[in-house]
Structures are given as C-alpha cells and as structure tokens.
Amino acid sequence: MANWMGGSCPAMANQIAGGFMLLSPNNLKGFQPGELQALKFELERIQRNTRAELTAWIDKYFRAFPMGVCNAVSSCRRLENGAGNFNCAGGGAGGSCSSGPLPNPPAMVPRVLIGDPETGIAVGMTMFMGNTDMHMIKMYGGQVYAVHAVLGGATSSGW
C-alpha cells in the first residue's frame, strides 16, 4: 500500500515536480505497480505545457526570429531541412532570446499555429523568402528541447 507523501498521488507529484522531494528507492517501497503508474501519470501531466503556452512560444519565435528562441535547454538542437544542425540558443544560425518587445513589423508573420499539449509539440507555418516555411518544436516543463525547420519552394501557400 502506497504511503503518499502529501496525502495523495497528485500532491506527491507536485512535491516532486517542485523540487521539494527527491525520489529514491526508499520513498517508493511499498508502492504497487498500479500506484507507480498513477504517480508516473501525474508527473507527466504536471510537465505538460498547455496549448496556449505552446502556440505563444512558437508565435514569439516567428515574430522575433532569430531572437525568439527562449526557454531552450542547453542541449536543444535546431535542425534545418535535415542538414543544418545548430544549438537552439547559441546565437548565429541557432538563434537567441530577446526579452524585449516583439519587433514591429515582425520578422515573420505566422500563418498557422498548432499546439498539441499531449505530445508537447507545436507547429507553425509561414511564408519566408518565397518558401513555405514550417517549424516544429518539442516542449515540456516550460522548456524547449528541439526545433525543426523545413523550407519548401512555393510561389504561394495555398491558404
């Protein structure tokens, strides 16, 4: 039988995610497989970003490009058309993070923004230098772990 620290599975998950409790084999003694699954589910739920957070991030990314790459972990990579491989926030082609106001006019105007909170993936599309430009990110726990950009030649978007 589980001894939920904090009184319940969600409360224990909040304590772990908040850094107030560290997991060890000793804390989990007595937990049944179903209880461990429940704890795993709660921890994953806490780490998920909302659809609004996902689309707000990728919206800023386009509008402030290349200075809109914020909240990226140090190991984040930005891949371009399967060939370019850059550090997400390493400056240069990888990008950087600006905390100032968004540029007016924006660097790129996003046309479609889609966020999936279950997978932590957001997709944005725009037109860039005569190309259909699609960017996709992987985000969880408020941080970006990967950025992918794919450009395809097009005279118009078809939208």
Backbone angles phi, psi at 140, to 5 degrees: -155, 150
How much is the pLDDT for 114?
A: 96
How high is the mean pLDDT of the chain?
86
How much is the pLDDT for 65?
A: 87
Distances (CA, A) of 145 to 11, 51, 60, 102, 122: 27, 17, 16, 22, 12
- Higher pLDDT among residues 65 and 54, named by residue: 54
pLDDT tens per residue across span 25-36: 888 888 999 999
Q: Which amino acid is at 14?
A: N
Backbone angles phi, psi at 141, to 5 degrees: 60, 25
> How many residues are given for the chain?
159
pLDDT tens per residue across span 36-51: 999 999 998 888 899 9
Based on the number of CB atoms within 10 Å of its own CB, is 126 exposed (0-12), middle (13-18) or buried (19 or more)? buried
How much is the pLDDT for 82?
A: 73
- Higher pLDDT among residues 100 and 13, named by residue: 13
pLDDT tens per residue across span 67-123: 888 888 888 888 888 778 888 876 555 578 887 888 889 888 998 999 999 899 999
